[in-house]
Amino acid sequence: MGKGGRGWSLGLAGLLSPVTIWLGLFFLIPLLFILAYSFGKSGVYGGITLGFYPSNYLKVFNPLYLEIIVRTFVIALTNTFLCLVLGYPLAYFIAFKSGRHKNILILLVMIPFWTSLLLRAYAWVVILGGNGIANRTLQFLHITDHPLDLIFTPQAVIMGMVYSYLPFMILPLYAALEKFDSRLKEAAQDLGASRWQTFWRVTFPLSMPGVIAGSILVFIPSAGEFVIPNLLGGARIVMVGNLIQQQFLEARDWAFGSALAVMLAVLLVGAIMFYVRRVGSEKLEEV
């Protein structure tokens, strides 16, 4: 191991060439491929003619597809908001009120975090299914007298998403709150702030890095989600992820599928940058 330093050297080239080859060849170049395909034209038998045809992008404005795109963002935003609202109090509780049980409580959040998303979606397929536990509980409580359509609804998809992504929100929130210096809270209260004021003017703004990190970790995968709407939304609640999958594996319109994928990537990266800038700068003004 050299002492490091500035500029290129043989040692540095040696360290970096494997990652350059692997990520270049199997991450960046494939992205350029779908960018090129997105401007191509799909043939009848799934072949593709490269060129510069904007028609794939214009197709997105077809009301049928526009509805799917809007639905995707509404579901992903709702999920992010619900995870924040449900996750924040829990992260706050673990960070400030759990005393000596702190480690076990955070471990209990990490276990579902490490459990396969597919299996956690399956749990809800069983629970919300035709004669599932949810329906039987509702009938037992006399809320309804016949099984309701719980699965294959937007609510089922959101339920599955909140369940799957909640730990992704709690962990960064906890990490941010855990670093919090309680003397700041005491100072605010000594200066006459109520508990409520202290929270909104001191604790919450200082936990902003956790809120941003958690929101990104939840929003990105839920906007690109394809398993949960597939299992819990069925043919009725289609999201962009399902639409892309259909273009590639069923309709074999790879040009349109590529255009959708490029758009999803650009919109998500754009959304993150906008969010980090906005919320980030407000946070700076606050300090």
Partner 1 sequence: MANTKGGPVYTGLRKIPDRVLLLFAGLIYLFLYAPIMVLIFFSFNSTKNTQVWTGFSTQWYGELIRDTSVFNALKLSLTVGLTATAIATVIGTLTALALSRYDFRGKTFADSAIYAATVMPEIVVGVSLLVFFVAATIELGIVTIIIAHVAFCISFVTIVVRARLAGMDRSVEEAAQDLGATPVQTFLRVTLPLILPGVMAGALLAFTLSFDDFVITFFVAGVGSSTLPLQIYSMIKFGVSPVINALSTVVMISTMVLILGGSRFLSRGENA
Map the footprint of partner 1 across residues 61-100, applying CB under 8 A.
Answer: 86-87, 89-90, 92-100
- Exactly one of 49, 58, 67, 186 binds partner 1 (CB under 8 A); that residue is 186
Closest CA to 161 of 240, 70, 75, 92: 75
Compare residues 285 and 287 and give the one whose CB is closer to partner 1.
Answer: 287
Query: Which residue's CB is nearer to partner 1, number 8 or number 285?
Result: 8
CB of 61 to partner 1, least distance (A): 21
Q: Which two tokens stand for residue 285?
A: 């003004």
On whether the CB atoms of residues 255 and 116 are closer than 8 A, the answer is no
Residue 90 CA to residue 223 CA, distance in Å, equals 24
What residues between 207 and 236 interact with partner 1 by CB under 8 A?
216, 220-221, 223-224, 226-227, 231
Query: Is residue 104 near partner 1 by the rule CB under 8 A?
Result: no
Name which position in 172, 214, 233, 241 contacts partner 1 (CB under 8 A): 241
Sign of the dihedral through C-alpha 11, 13, 19, 22? negative
Q: Which of 79, 167, 212, 233 binds partner 1 (CB under 8 A)?
A: 167
Would you say 87 or 172 has its CB closer to partner 1? 87
Q: Are strands 41-42 and 48-49 parallel, antiparallel or unpaired?
A: antiparallel
Q: Which stretch binds partner 1 (CB under 8 A): 138-146, 206-214, 243-251, 278-286?
A: 243-251
If binding is defined by CB under 8 A, does position 133 make contact with partner 1?
Answer: yes
Identify residue 94 by its one-letter amino acid code: I
State whether residue 94 is helix, strand or coil.
helix
Query: What whole-number distance in Å separates Cα of residue 87 and Cα of residue 102?
Result: 16
For 233-238, the CB contacts below 8 A with 24+ separation are: 233/152, 233/153, 233/154, 233/156, 233/157, 234/151, 234/152, 235/152, 236/152, 236/153, 237/71, 237/152, 237/153, 237/154, 237/156, 237/157, 238/68, 238/71
Q: Which residues of 93-105 are buried (b: 16+ CB within 10 A; e: fewer)?
A: ebbeeeeeebeeb
Q: Residue 192 interacts with partner 1 (CB under 8 A)?
A: no
- Residue 50 interacting with partner 1 (CB under 8 A): no
Computed on alpha carbons and rounded to an integer, the radius of gyration of the chain in Å comes to 24
Q: At residue 256, what is the residue type?
A: F
Stretch that binds partner 1, among 52-60, 62-70, 104-112, 138-146 (CB under 8 A): 104-112
- Min separation Cβ 94 and partner 1, Å: 8
- CB closer to partner 1, 68 vs 220: 220
User: Nearer to partner 1 by C-beta: 205 or 285?
Assistant: 205
Stretch 108-127 residues interacting with partner 1 (CB under 8 A): 108-112, 114-120, 122-127
User: Given the rule CB under 8 A, which of 51-59, 62-70, 142-150, 265-273 is the region that contacts partner 1?
Assistant: 265-273
